[in-house]
A and B are shown apart, each in its own frame.
Chain A
Amino acid sequence: MKHKAHRFFASMLVAAFFASTPGMAAEIPNIPTPTEGWNTVWHEVLIDLWVIGILFGSLGAYFLVKYRAKDPDAVGSGKKLDFRQALAWCLIPCALFLADDFMLAAKGWTLWNTQRTIPAGSMEIKVTASQWNFTYEYPNGVEISSTDRDTDKNLFGTEIMDGDLVIPVGKPIVMRMISSDVIHSFGLTDYRLKEDIMPGRVTYIWFMARKPNISQVVCVEFCGTNHSGMYNRVVAVSKANYDTWLAKKKQEATLRRRTYAANIIKR
């Protein structure tokens, strides 16, 4: 009886879990992303650095204290290495350093392939950078300008600004980027990514949000007077909310175009 009750509650829990995220688990593709990859490798690199740092640091500090001159005329008694010792003190450290280098290179290369290989089924947003603004063009033609800082308060509970780069959760996003004047750079701070944007060459970057959140995209290549004013928010929202937002933007754009045309006709 007791056993049965236990099983019952467990199944309830499982059901509750799936109920709370209707369809979400199925929607978010289970692929490695640049963001999680970066965080993992960063922690491994940090361990590597701390081990080497503490080893050399403590050894150096020990030598500095231990080998203080006992009397002002004393001289050091370091021996001249013979050929075999000298060779060993060259080859063994070289081998160790190279082993560490190649280990890091292998980890770095693996992550690099994730960072640069665009997954299937991704959504493309075109970015045009100029002094000092990013313009985003969505697949359906909606354009967002990063310098619009007006706030749209009443959209699905999240405060959305006109210049926000709004993206759906669980969808790999590719930014296809070009500049119309000088070199800029697309720095997705919380997604651990950046790539320069320049005239005459198209560059790309891909990322994916797993949860609704708000982060920043900043220009990170020096571009003049208002370099530090060239930024906007990246707002990841659920697919449903994204569709609502995009439809609203599309409507606004159509309205704007009609008003514009009407004005011209009037004139």
Chain B
Amino acid sequence: MTVATDGIPEDTGSSHGGFKLKEWIFTTDHKRIGIMYLIGSIAALLVAGLMAMGIRIEQTYVGESGLIQYFVGDFAGNMTTGDAYNAALYFHGAAMILAFLIPGLTGFAANYLVPLMIGAPDVAFPRINALSLWLFWMGILVALLSFIIPDAPDIMWTGYPPYSITTSTNTAFYVFTVHLLGFASILGAVNFLVTIIYMRAPGMGWNQMNMFVWTTFAAFIIQLIFVPVLAAAVTLLLLDKYAGTNFYNPDAGGDVLLYQNLFWFYSHPAVYVIFLPAMGIMYEVIATMAKNRIFNYKVAVWGGIIGILVITGEVWVHHLYIAGMPNWIRIGQMITTLMISVPVGLMVISWWGTLYKGSITYSTAMKYASANMFLVLVGGLTGIPLAMTSMTVHLSETSFIHAHFHFIMALFATFSMFAAVYHWFPKMTGRSAEGKLADAAFYVTFLGTQLTFWPLFIIGIEGMPRRYWNYEMFPQFEPYHMVATIGSFIIAFGAALMILNWIKAAINGPKVGANPWKSRSLEWTHTDIIAGPGNFPKPVTVSEDWTPYDYANADGTPNTSN
């Protein structure tokens, strides 16, 4: 079957030496770049998570907590509670999406896994890849500076004008963060599309690629098409605020809704830039741990992934259902938005079907994947009323919408990230991160997420508005906010256990063999446990009937060929 190499030599002599900082800073190796993306995005997760704690603490009771100022670095108490809360909420949203989820999934996971999965020695343009990474780090730095400057942005991650133009706070920091991360994304998109198109191992057809490679391919097509639109939108914002232009100023002939249309024309597809690689990781983990072929692979790829790609540019108005758009377009995009259920449904069926007649071993990553089946159902199904214009006129801008996208993005995509770290931990470190601490962290985090977000669904249906630090008009919601806050503390505890476990395992976790999950995917079968520079000791070729998921022979016996 996959006669690619004559077996792997004991020591290829090609592994990296000991730790040298200079080597890491100047590296063009996709694996090291991937790990540095991981470190940066987890750092963003922790800081933005801290902001989330501040937000939850502030909302626990009606009225001021007096604590939110400390979270945004205002120790002197110069800011009002409203301003400090808004600054924390801005940072939470912007950092979680732009600096954690997108770089975590398309930076870390794509960088680390795509070349290994397609049998390539590196990406097509390794130096451009390094440039992407450093642009990303600069973006994080600019975002973090907002805690030091006296006028931290308070414009939410959406930055709608006219508020973002008339506010006295520093919109430029938001724009420059988006610019830097946007450039990193566009360069990454070119790099990975070229890599996937031209650098697959000889013999690897499109329908033999890993699901994760497919989802990354689709995600980067989205980035390449839509990021420039966002860049244009925020650049016009910058000009309006600081150069006196009037693109978004209706008093001078501009259009007040133009920004929202441009912003969501990118930012809805951006949801799939997050969702698709997260789904890809789930497919990899599930197929590997269930030792089963992907159910209906071609339909999942061409109907599911490509289906999302086709539909993604025609649904952005569902973010503007109450924004004063013409009635006809709100109805037209209700229908396109509801039709998202078709590709997503095909992917979900393929996922469920992959478990059917599988042989499931529960690694930590598989536990996260099982939890994700629940999270994707809740997050996906609560999206259905939000697709309906006439339902959204009540649910929009309530904590229902807030709970919905936290289930699908903050929980589903983040659990996918965590699953990826656990699943490929042996690949990155040569050690296993499994164990009681990993399990405890998983169960604690899962419990915390449910406690935090279910109350928000309930009070959202009753009309609790989003982005409110005070809710004196709705004192009846206080107990629900209390439960949500307790949940957030449990999440924080679980996250701390998880990080502790990762650090512990990276330093002295038990060493594992070359293919601990008995995977059939190239990154496990054809490399050393820690892949050295150039990844593969010998160039990889795959045969016509090879797939990364051929666990069983035609007669049902385990496939042991290599």
A105–B338 Cα distance when bound, in Å, is 8
Q: How far is the CB of A168 from chain B (nearest CB, A)?
A: 23
Identity of the chain B residue whose Cβ is nearest the Cβ of A103 in the assembled complex = B338
Q: Which of A12-20, A70-78, A136-144, A246-254 contacts B (4 or more CB under 8 A)?
A: A70-78
A52–B83 Cα distance when bound, in Å, is 42
Neighbouring B residues of A199 by C-beta, 8 Å: 162, 250-251, 256
Total A-B residue contacts, Cβ distance less than 8 Å: 261
Known: A49-B384, A194-B322, A228-B470. A108 touches B391 (CB 8 A): yes
Q: Which of A183-191, A235-243, A259-267 contacts B (4 or more CB under 8 A)?
A: A183-191
How does the 8 Å CB contact mask read for B290-301 relative to A, with 1 for contact and 0 for none? Answer: 111101101100
A: contact size bracket: 35 or more
Residues of A with Cβ closer than 8 Å to B? Answer: 34, 37-38, 41-42, 45, 48-49, 52-53, 56-57, 59-60, 63-64, 67-70, 72-81, 86, 89-90, 93-94, 97-98, 100-102, 104-105, 107-109, 111-112, 115-116, 181-183, 185, 187, 189-190, 192-196, 198-201, 203, 216, 218-229, 231, 233
Identity of the chain A residue whose Cβ is nearest the Cβ of B345 in the assembled complex = A97
17 A–B contacts, CB within 8 A, in A order: A38-B393, A59-B352, A60-B352, A69-B291, A77-B357, A78-B354, A78-B356, A80-B293, A93-B349, A97-B345, A182-B163, A185-B322, A195-B324, A196-B323, A201-B250, A228-B468, A229-B82
Q: How far is the CB of B298 from chain A (nearest CB, A)?
A: 6
**Pairs A-B, 9 closest by C-beta atoms:** A200-B250, A76-B292, A189-B463, A228-B468, A220-B397, A108-B388, A76-B358, A192-B394, A111-B390
Neighbouring B residues of A196 by C-beta, 8 Å: 322-324
Q: How far is the CB of A62 from chain B (nearest CB, A)?
A: 9
A105–B390 Cα distance when bound, in Å, is 10
Known: A74-B291, A86-B298, A225-B80. A194 touches B390 (CB 8 A): no
Neighbouring A residues of B338 by C-beta, 8 Å: 101-102, 104-105
Among A97, A187, A222, residue most surrounded by chain B Cβ atoms (within 10 Å): A222
A115 and B390 contact, CB distance less than 8 A:
yes
Q: Which of A67, A182, A228 contacts B166 (CB 8 A)?
A: A182
- Could you tell me which residues of chain B, from 385 to 426, have a CB within 8 Å of some CB in chain A? 385, 387-391, 393-394, 396-398
B299 and A86 contact, CB distance less than 8 A:
yes
A54–B501 Cα distance when bound, in Å, is 35
B551 at the binding interface (Cβ < 8 Å):
yes
B71 at the binding interface (Cβ < 8 Å):
no
A34–B82 Cα distance when bound, in Å, is 33
Neighbouring B residues of A222 by C-beta, 8 Å: 86, 156, 160, 163, 466-467
Known: A76-B290, A93-B346. A231 touches B163 (CB 8 A): no
Neighbouring A residues of B360 by C-beta, 8 Å: 64, 67-69
B462 at the binding interface (Cβ < 8 Å):
yes
Q: Which of A80, A109, A115, A183 contacts B160 (CB 8 A)?
A: A183
B167 at the binding interface (Cβ < 8 Å):
yes
Q: How far is the CB of A178 from chain B (nearest CB, A)?
A: 10
A63 and B352 contact, CB distance less than 8 A:
yes
A115–B462 Cα distance when bound, in Å, is 19
A101 and B341 contact, CB distance less than 8 A:
yes
B385 and A42 contact, CB distance less than 8 A:
yes
Neighbouring B residues of A68 by C-beta, 8 Å: 359-362
B341 and A194 contact, CB distance less than 8 A:
no
Q: How far is the CB of B394 from chain A (nearest CB, A)?
A: 4
B439 at the binding interface (Cβ < 8 Å):
no
A49 and B256 contact, CB distance less than 8 A:
no
How does the 8 Å CB contact mask read for B361-390 relative to A, with 1 for contact and 0 for none? Answer: 110000000100110011001101101111
Q: Which of B298, B359, B469 contacts A70 (CB 8 A)?
A: B359
B494 at the binding interface (Cβ < 8 Å):
no
Neighbouring B residues of A79 by C-beta, 8 Å: 357
A48–B345 Cα distance when bound, in Å, is 15
B290 and A56 contact, CB distance less than 8 A:
no
Identity of the chain A residue whose Cβ is nearest the Cβ of B89 in the assembled complex = A222
A56 and B352 contact, CB distance less than 8 A:
yes
B373 and A60 contact, CB distance less than 8 A:
yes
